[in-house]
Chain A
Amino acid sequence: MTLHAEPLNTGIADPLADQKPVSLLRDTLRNILRQRSAIVGLTVLAFLVFVAIFAPVIAPFDPTQVLLGIEDTATPRLAPCIHWLGCSMDQPQHLMGLDGNARDVFSRVVFGSRVSLQIGFLTVGFAIILGTIIGSIAGFFGSRIDNLLMRLMDVILAFPSLLLAIAIVTVLGPGLINAQLAIGIVAIPVYSRVMRASVLSIRDQDFIAASRALGESSGGILRRRIIPNALTPLIVQGTLGIAGAIIDVAALSFLGLGAQPPLAEWGSMIGDERNAVFSAPHLILVPGIAIIVTCLSFNLLGDGLRDALDPRLNR
């Protein structure tokens, strides 16, 4: 059986005929693309993802390979050698020189993009998932559970974030995974608060009461009705949070608590060479700029998303 019917031929043009249905997704996308900062952020981010995916093709050397003894001219902290800028052709080309262990800096920076992007997404993903669970339980069930969970979040927020992360990594032991875990834990309160606020604003609305009247379980209401409605602020907060997570994990690596050698991670590259800043500043400059560009792109995208997705700003 089909409900499809031939349109009546009345001779009058249907006023709705040439009006395309507006899809929420397309509307949102158009709003995002109208934000200049979001476009800049997305473009740079696309470039970074491209570099990360094709890192083995782009990088001329293995990022962990020590070139001492393999190349005759290789010495620790060798200055950059670029052929078309006049570096002698019999010397192997190193766009950004060698680091203190005679490894190719350009290759390490290229491969570092993989590490940093993964750090950003995993750390914030972890924090968002736990924060969403905690925030929705607190907001949905209220009273004592709410009070208990939110005081726990207050305790985490009572520490300067990096210090608590340092304390957690001391307990777990240094390492990239543990550093990400620590930064993730420290970031949970932000997302649980955002989630709780959204839940509280939605919980008492009529469509929730309707779902309940139709016999939907608490878990179902939470999963199918409340969480989808609270996603927008989480996405915005999460995008801005990625930049912070990349910086914080890099800071732990800088202190020797995160990525361990010989992994090519921007923070630890800077940490390893920080005493060489006066003699070979490019060893700090190059990974430093890489961190700045990555974080800037996430921050711009986050700002753009906020402006595009916040209905109060749609004037």
Chain B
Amino acid sequence: MTRFIIRRLLLSIPVLLGVVILVFILARVIPGDPCRAALGERATDEICDAFRARYGLDRPILIQFLTYIGNLATGDLGDSIRFGRPVSQILVERLPVTVELTVYALIFATVSGISLGRLSAIRRNSPIDVATMIVANLGVSIPVFVLGLFFAYLFAVVLKGTPFSLPPSGRLTPGVEVIPLAQAWGLQDLGGPPRVILDFLSNINTVNAIVTLNGSLLVDTLRHMILPAVALGTIPMAIIARMTRSSLLDVLGLDYIRTARAKGVRERDVVSRHGMRNALLPVVTVIGLSLGGLLSGAVLTETIFNLAGIGRTITEAIQGRDYIIIQGVVIIVAIIYIVVNLVVDISYALLDPRIRLT
């Protein structure tokens, strides 16, 4: 097992390096002068020279690349052209929103996807099965931005005044305060990486609310998260439901299931104890794979629901031609994605001994 993990870790190094190189190249081949793109057409030559010197754009490309790698290794992603602030600082503020949204969406997709798929497989060819499969087919054909806007209209306009009405925009109702954990615990003087981690966690409202036992903050956060999370989670839910159904149907046709039934095991236990355990293996892979789609979809969902996460950051950076931010966000998200896939692969190997041996 250790050998498998080490080999898998080593294999991801060239991919990581490739990602870094690709993003570096993409950021350098943006057409036009980055200075004029950032500061406007009327920037004088002197200002532009100073600009190039500040961002190291006047040095040889190889030196630029090595500096970039060196900075990356120390967590320095450069300063945003538009805001003049470090990109890493912007990420600490905004990545938590995306993480929160993605995790809620993944929970929704996994729980409802597996239960729908299971129900569908047990009642094969029943109206429930047909309905579930229609929903699953529709789910993979709906763009997340269409579904998000449908939901926003349905829950904020049609259901307005009913108990089901939900806020269609923002993270919190105006007036609801979030106290940063560093302030709540009197740790303002804390610095370095522990502070970064503390601020990161503090900006995940759910974590903040639970840690500080702030009930009203938790309720408000959840109310604002339902619509975006369900919209974002629908496509993976559909994929997971289809996978669970076909995988469970395959497993339920195997001999050991018949043996279990012949022994007199209750049908419910046959499905959950014997069937689901083996059927879930391919589902785990699909869940891991759907993370890429979730991160892509987060860009659109955040734009629709006005959530200031990295998706919104990137769309704003595109409009402001702030390629330092684009570069930083894309690289961090790609690294997160690679690491999560690594974790999924390893957990898959833990679940299925056959993987380790090949």
Evaluate contact between A255 and B146: CB separation under 8 angstroms: no
Say what secondary structure dominates the interface of chain A.
helix
A173 contact set on B, CB distance < 8 A: 31
Interface size in chain B (residues, C-beta < 8 A): 49
Which residue of A is nearest B296, CB measured? A162
Tell me, in angstroms, the Cα distance from A155 to B335 when the chains sit together.
Answer: 11
Residues of B at under 8 Å CB distance from A? 14-16, 18-19, 22-23, 26, 29-31, 137-138, 140-146, 149-150, 152-153, 156-157, 168, 291-293, 295-297, 299-300, 303-304, 314-315, 318-319, 323, 326, 329-330, 333-334, 337-338
CB neighbours (8 Å) of A295 from chain B are: 140-143
Q: A170-B30, A255-B315, A256-B319 are in contact. List 19 more A-B contacts (CB 8 A).
A: A152-B18, A159-B19, A159-B330, A159-B337, A161-B293, A163-B295, A164-B330, A167-B23, A167-B326, A251-B144, A251-B145, A255-B299, A274-B145, A274-B149, A274-B304, A288-B149, A295-B143, A296-B141, A303-B137
Please provide the chain A residues from 264 to 299 with a CB less than 8 Å away from any CB of chain B in the complex: 267, 270-271, 274, 277-278, 281, 284-285, 288, 291-292, 295-296, 299
Output the residue of B141, B150, B291, B338 with the most chain A CB within 10 A.
Answer: B141
* Given known contacts A173-B31, A300-B137, A292 and B153 CB-to-CB distance under 8 angstroms: no
Is the CB–CB distance between B145 and A254 below 8 Å? yes
Among candidates B157, B326, B330, B337, residue contacting A278 with C-beta atoms closer than 8 Å: B157
Nearest B residue (CB) for A246: B143
Say yes or no for A250: interface residue by CB 8 A criterion. Answer: yes
Write the A242-270 contact mask toward B (1 if CB under 8 angstroms, else 0).
01000100110011110000000001001
Q: Which residues of A contact B30 (CB under 8 A)?
A: 170-171
- A166 x B29 contact (CB < 8 A): no
| Alpha-carbon gap, A277 to B155, bound state (A) | 12
Chain A residues in 8 Å Cβ range of B295: 160, 163
B18 and A161 contact, CB distance less than 8 A: no
Any B CB within 8 A of the CB of A57:
no
| Contact of B31 with A270 in the complex, beta carbons under 8 Å | no
Write out the residue numbers on chain A whose beta carbons fall within 8 Å of the beta carbon of B140: 243, 295, 299
Q: Per a CB cutoff under 8 Å, which of B146, B157, B296, B318 touches A270?
A: B146
Q: Is A79's CB within 8 Å of the partner chain B?
A: no
- A288 near B150 (CB under 8 angstroms)? yes
Cβ of A150 to closest chain B Cβ, rounded Å: 11
Q: Give CA–CA (A267, B299) in the complex, Å.
A: 15
- Choose one: B14, B157, B299, B338; the contact of A166 (CB below 8 Å): B299
Tell me if B299 and A292 are in contact (CB < 8 A).
no
Q: Which 4 A-B pairs have the closest CB atoms?
A: A162-B296, A155-B18, A288-B146, A295-B141
Interface size on A, residues (CB 8 A): 43
In chain A between 57 and 109, which residues have their CB closer than 8 angstroms to a CB of chain B?
Answer: none
Interface positions, chain A 150-181, Cβ under 8 Å from B, are: 151-152, 154-156, 158-164, 166-168, 170-171, 173
A247 to B146, CA, bound (A): 10
Q: Is the CB of A151 within 8 A of B15?
A: yes
Could you tell me if A159 and B334 are in contact, using CB atoms closer than 8 angstroms? yes
Q: Which residues of B contact A152 (CB under 8 A)?
A: 18
Contact B333 A163 (CB under 8 A): yes
Which residues of B lie under 8 Å from residue A281 when comparing CB positions? 153, 157
| Cross-chain contact B318 with A255 (CB below 8 angstroms) | yes
Contacts of A97-151 to chain B: CB distance below 8 A: 151
Whether B19 pairs with A155 at a CB distance below 8 angstroms is yes
Q: Is the CB of B152 within 8 A of A251?
A: no
Which chain B residues border A285 with CB–CB below 8 Å? 150
**Residues in chain A near residue B26, CB distance under 8 A:** 167-168, 170-171
Whether A154 pairs with B146 at a CB distance below 8 angstroms is no
Rounded to whole angstroms, the CA-CA distance of A305 and B19 in the bound complex is 35
Distance in Å from the Cβ of A25 to the closest Cβ of chain B?
28
